[in-house]
Amino acid sequence: MPLVQISMLPGRSAEQKRALLAEVTEAVARTCKVAPEQVRILIAEIPAEHWAVAGISIAESAARKKEGR
């Protein structure tokens, strides 16, 4: 039973998440040769303040860009 964990920033609509779940399920089922009913997917929406690249949170990076820094 494949388990896929997806981490992403908040902001996608319910419809976008439904489409993501459907397409990932299809790809995993096909690739792993399992029934779609065996595929499990978890979506974790991580706040921008809790996600960093090179030691700078995405929230801080966005604020800097907005300020022109």
- H-only helix segments in 1-69: 14-32, 58-67
Q: Which two tokens stand for residue 46?
A: 């991580």
**Looking at the annotation, which residues are catalytic?**
2
For residues 58 and 48, is the Cβ–Cβ distance under 8 A?
yes
* Closest CA relative to residue 44, chosen from 4, 54, 57: 4
